[in-house]
Structure 1
Amino acid sequence: MKREKPKYMQIIDAAVIVIAENGYHGSQVAKIAKQAGVADGTIYLYFKNKDDILISVFKEKMGVFIERLREIAHRPISTEEKLYELVKNHYTILQNDHHLAIVTQLELRQTRKPLRTKISDILREYLSLYDYILKEGIENGVLKDSIDIRLLRQAIFGMIDETSTSWVMTGQKHDLVSLTDEVHQLILHGLKK
Structure 2
Amino acid sequence: MKRNKPKYMQIVDAAVIAIAENGYHQAQVAKIAKQAGVADGTIYLYFKNKEDILISVFNEKMGIFVENLQDIIKNGNTSSEKLCSMIENHLSVLSSDRHLATVTQLELRQSNRELRLKINSILKEYLALLDQILVEGMVSGEFNPTMDVRIARQMVFGTIDEISTTWVMSDYRYNLLEQSPKIQQLLLNALKA
| TM-score, structure 2 as length reference | 0.97
How far does the alpha carbon of each residue in 1:35-81 deviate from its partner, in whole angstroms, 9 at most, with x for none? Answer: 00000000000000000000000000000000001110122411111
Instruction: Give matches, 1:1-193, under 5 Å.
Output: 1-190=1-190
Letter of the 2:19 counterpart: I
Letter of the 1:146 counterpart: T
The count of aligned residue pairs is 192
User: Within 2, Cα distance between the matches of 1:82 and 1:10?
Assistant: 32
User: Within 1, Cα distance between the matches of 2:49 and 2:177?
Assistant: 35
Shift of residue 191 of structure 1?
Answer: 10
Please, what is the CA RMSD of the aligned residues? 1.3
User: Within 1, Cα distance between the matches of 2:60 and 2:28?
Assistant: 20
User: Within 2, Cα distance between the matches of 1:20 and 1:76?
Assistant: 34
User: Within 2, Cα distance between the matches of 1:162 and 1:122?
Assistant: 19
Letter of the 2:101 counterpart: A
Helix, strand or coil: the match of 1:147? Answer: coil
User: Within 1, Cα distance between the matches of 2:162 and 2:103?
Assistant: 14
Helix, strand or coil: the match of 1:190? Answer: helix
User: Within 2, Cα distance between the matches of 1:110 and 1:54?
Assistant: 12
User: Within 1, Cα distance between the matches of 2:163 and 2:100?
Assistant: 15
> How much identity, in percent, do the aligned residues show?
59
How far does the alpha carbon of each residue in 1:2-60 deviate from its partner, in whole angstroms, 9 at most, with x for none? Answer: 22222000000000000000000000000000000000000000000000000000000
Letter of the 1:51 counterpart: E
Helix, strand or coil: the match of 1:173? Answer: coil
User: Within 2, Cα distance between the matches of 1:94 and 1:29?
Assistant: 24
Helix, strand or coil: the match of 1:11? Answer: helix
Letter of the 2:31 counterpart: K
Helix, strand or coil: the match of 1:7? Answer: helix
How far does the alpha carbon of each residue in 1:95-124 deviate from its partner, in whole angstroms, 9 at most, with x for none? Answer: 000000000000000111110110000000
User: Within 2, Cα distance between the matches of 1:10 and 1:103?
Assistant: 16
| TM-score, structure 1 as length reference | 0.97
Task: List gaps (5 residues or longer) in structure 2.
Answer: none
Helix, strand or coil: the match of 2:54? Answer: helix
User: Within 2, Cα distance between the matches of 1:80 and 1:21?
Assistant: 37
